[in-house]
Amino acid sequence: MAYNKSIKAFDEAYAVIPGGVDSPVRAFSGVVGTPPFISHGEGGYLFDIDGNQYIDFVQSWGPLIFGHCDKDIEYSVIQAVKRGLSFGAPTTIETDLANEIVSLFDSIDKVRFVSSGTEAVMSAIRLARGVTGRDNIVKFKGCYHGHSDSLLVEAGSGLATFGTPSSPGVPADLTKHTLLATYNDLASVEQCFADAKGNIACVIIEPIAGNMGLVPADEAFLVGIRALCDIHGALLIFDEVMSGFRASLKGAQGISSVKPDILTLGKVIGAGMPVGAFGASATIMSHLSPEGPVYQAGTLSGNPVAMAAGLTSLKKLKANPSLYVEFASKAKKLVDGFQKASLAVGVPMVTEVRGSMFGFFFSDVVVKNMEQADANDTQMFAQFHKGMLDKGVYLACSSYETGFICAKTSDKMIDNAIKAAYQTMREITA
Ligand SMILES: *Cc1c(COP(=O)(O)O)cnc(C)c1O
């Protein structure tokens, strides 16, 4: 495949945008080559400015569960645009989308809309701190919750589990309240509670982690965290910005029996428009401004165009629950095919599927946490990614990401992607 126009576009972008991208994951830093610049999408396909066509397994990193240019979503967005882009005043469509969401999750009575997942999680943490009157929070190594200060944390040195900033520009004073635990390891969470003498505002977790590759939490682990939170009066936050409406219609809560106190959503609820949301019981949400003292606001929050996209998307999902069976069977077929292609040339691979989410690691250990994810063969992944891209298969450009099936991903696309995987694995091991 030729990428001449994209290479030129990347150079031009590089001159005026840091790294040439507006979000670092797009930069192809962990793989070979430069990112294709996109011209347009169509259903399950993506087209770049050189005219190359790709089967899209990234789907804007999750939001596009109906693929590109879905006619119903497109129509509702255009109708909304014609009424005006933003009013900074209440509209009934916010209530409509809130009702759709609240009716799906037993755990929440009320929801507030924001403009990104980062904002949703940041606000949820503030709410948890405001409700409990405590500062400390527990997060898991390998879980991503957006780029706000107190969540950009890596393991602290020495005895303590208290975190240190993982980015310059984040004051250590802010991250010292973030304790780090190990995913799927309940003892590490108990240790955090012990270290903080029970003084924890909340535990935040991706109940189906999608940001260290696809790594679901064990049910017993989630049950254990729920119990610890209840014993110590801490709130449990499920960050389902990615897994919401992806792992099942109810996200992880359609699979696990554990209910969070606060839920964060994003990605699919905007169907490609910028939307995030956080919700909880009426009691917890009553602490939020203007009902309560915990401040949170946004000029474009509940934007009517974004709400229209989300509402149409959620209504379509609700009306077609069998979609999730289809998603899972396609995802399973795809990763089984990848795994066979890999094993055929003697390279180990482990795979995972949750609804429309799929993951694979070049590794021979079943991945349960970040340390095990780190043991994957990133060199092999980089070569695999390049080979697949050259054959028209667009995969996330990092082995720590999750892949997605959408309603427009056809059996033929799956078969073609598997064929490309066999060919790629033969090439890179020849
Ligand atoms: C993507 C993501 C976020 C951040 O959402 P943005 O819209 O990128 O700010 C937060 N949490 C999880 C689990 C995510 O996958």
Q: Which atom of ligand 1 is nearest to the CA of 211?
A: 15
Q: Which atom of ligand 1 is nearest to the CA of 206?
A: 13
Q: Which amino acid is at 170?
A: V
Distance CA 349, CA 190 (A): 32
Residue 160: pLDDT band (50, 70, 90) is: very low
Residue 159: pLDDT band (50, 70, 90) is: very low
- Is 144 marked active-site? yes
The DSSP code sequence of 68-102 is BT-HHHHHHHHHHHHH-S--SS--HHHHHHHHHHH
* 4-69+322-429 and 71-319 have identical folds: no
What's the pLDDT score for residue 165? 79
For ligand 1, mutation pick of 140, 241, 398 (most atoms within 8 Å of CB)? 241
The position carrying tokens 């209910």 is: 259
Distance CA 261, CA 83 (A): 36
The DSSP code sequence of 232-293 is HT-EEEEE-TTTBTTTBTTGGGGT-S---SEEEE-GGGGBTB--EEEEE-HHHHTTBTTTSS
What's the pLDDT score for residue 383? 98
Longest CA pairwise span in the chain (Å): 65
What's the pLDDT score for residue 156? 44
pLDDT score of 245 more than 70: yes
CATH of domain 71-319: 3.40.640.10
Distance CA 287, CA 305 (A): 28
Cross-strand partners of 294: 288
Which residues have any ligand 1 atom within 6 Å of their CB?
A: 116-118, 121, 144-146, 206, 210-211, 239, 241-242, 266, 276
Q: What is the mean pLDDT of residues 257-269?
A: 98
The position carrying tokens 């054959």 is: 391
Question: Do 304 and 77 touch, CB atoms closer than 8 A?
Answer: no
CATH of domain 4-69+322-429: 3.90.1150.10
Taking the domains of the chain in order of start, what are their residue ranges? 4-69+322-429, 71-319
Q: Which of 3, 45, 54, 144 is catalytic?
A: 144
Residue 372: pLDDT band (50, 70, 90) is: very high
Question: Do 48 and 54 touch, CB atoms closer than 8 A?
Answer: yes
Distance CA 244, CA 152 (A): 22
**Which range has the worst mean pLDDT, 170-174, 261-265, 406-410?**
170-174
Q: Which of 239, 261, 324, 408 is catalytic?
A: 239
pLDDT score of 266 more than 70: yes
Q: What is the mean pLDDT of residues 236-254?
A: 98
Helix H or strand E encompassing 394: strand 393-394
Buried-state track 46-71, b at ≥16 Cβ within 10 A, e below 16 = bbbbbebebbbbbbbbbbbbbbbebe
pLDDT score of 155 more than 90: no
Residue 164: pLDDT band (50, 70, 90) is: confident
Q: Are strands 350-354 and 357-361 parallel, antiparallel or unpaired?
A: antiparallel
Q: Which atom of ligand 1 is nearest to the CA of 23?
A: 8
pLDDT score of 369 more than 90: yes
Please state the pTM of the whole predicted model. 0.97
Distance CA 137, CA 395 (A): 34
For ligand 1, mutation pick of 25, 115, 119, 121 (most atoms within 8 Å of CB)? 121
The position carrying tokens 């009702």 is: 99
For ligand 1, mutation pick of 242, 263, 303, 356 (most atoms within 8 Å of CB)? 242
3-class secondary structure, 220? helix
Distance CA 87, CA 66 (A): 28
Q: What is the mean pLDDT of residues 315-321?
A: 97
